[in-house]
Amino acid sequence: MQESSFLVAEKNFGDSIKKVIVIGSTGTIGEAVSIFLLNSGFSVIGIGRKVPSFDKKKGNYIHHILDLQNTELLEATLSNIVRNNEEIFCLVHCAGVGEFSNIENLSVSKIKAMLDVNLLSVVVSAKVLIPHFKKIDNGKLILIGSEAGLKGGQRGSVYSATKFGLRGFAQSIREETAKNNIFVTVINPGMVRGKFFDDKNFRPGKSIDNAIEPNDIAKLVNYLLDQESGMVFDEINVSQMKKVIDFNKS
């Protein structure tokens, strides 16, 4: 099941307004980031495949429908947002889909969905935002990767490939844009408790130390947004204390 969208959030920083684009605002991590931003006083414009489940927080949220697999529409919509919001200084990409099976059992459509959402939408988003960041000589690109991008595992070949690809893309972009004061970092979480597992036959164990809470990733994103230029976290790996997996019995 795909959970994908993006939002624009704004808040006063000193005498100016800075805006953030977050992709994946109706997914587990993106929703936590969205709520954190709203509770911190941001105004939010969300775009996704479905209506968000969270409270619109006193009218500070506007939502539009978009499927991230439509990368041409993603490019056009992002271009329009940037054109009309010169204060944007950060992109946070939280969207992701996963199908886990032996490679011969994965349909081409599911393989394409993972490539489109997990990797191609990141590339397209950066393609649109980086020229803007270069123009203002400042910017932050925060990408949510996965522990699957650090080590491949059984039944996760394509998912891991997209997350390894995301890391390689981020490393190259970081080298290309450092002279423009563009901050690029990847957060690689382990199992995050949430609706990512709703259509899976496994999920993290029930104990609090078996999974990462989405709000902890949201707090980490907020911390990165507060960091001054001149320092960058290349990658941040976040793991649950104890890896326990519950499998559904059919």
CATH of the domain at 78: 3.40.50.720
State which residues form the domain around 38. 5-247
> How much is the pLDDT for 15?
47
DSSP code string of 145-157: --GGGTS--TT-H
Query: Any bridge partners for residue 11, and if so which?
Result: 18
Q: What is the pLDDT along the chain (250 residues), one digit of tens a residue?
A: 444 456 676 666 554 567 889 898 888 898 898 888 778 777 766 777 788 887 766 677 767 788 999 999 999 999 998 998 888 888 999 998 888 889 999 999 999 999 999 999 999 999 999 999 999 999 999 999 999 999 998 988 999 999 999 999 999 999 999 999 999 999 999 888 877 767 667 676 788 888 889 999 999 998 998 887 678 899 999 998 888 788 875 4
Token pair belonging to 61: 């949220």
**Tokens 């996760």 -> residue:** 156
Q: Is 70 helix (H, G, I), strand (E, B) or coil?
A: coil
pTM above 0.85, yes or no: yes
How many other C-beta atoms lie within 10 A of the C-beta of residue 72?
8
Total domains, the chain: 1
DSSP code string of 232-246: ---EEEE--SS--EE
> How much is the pLDDT for 202?
66
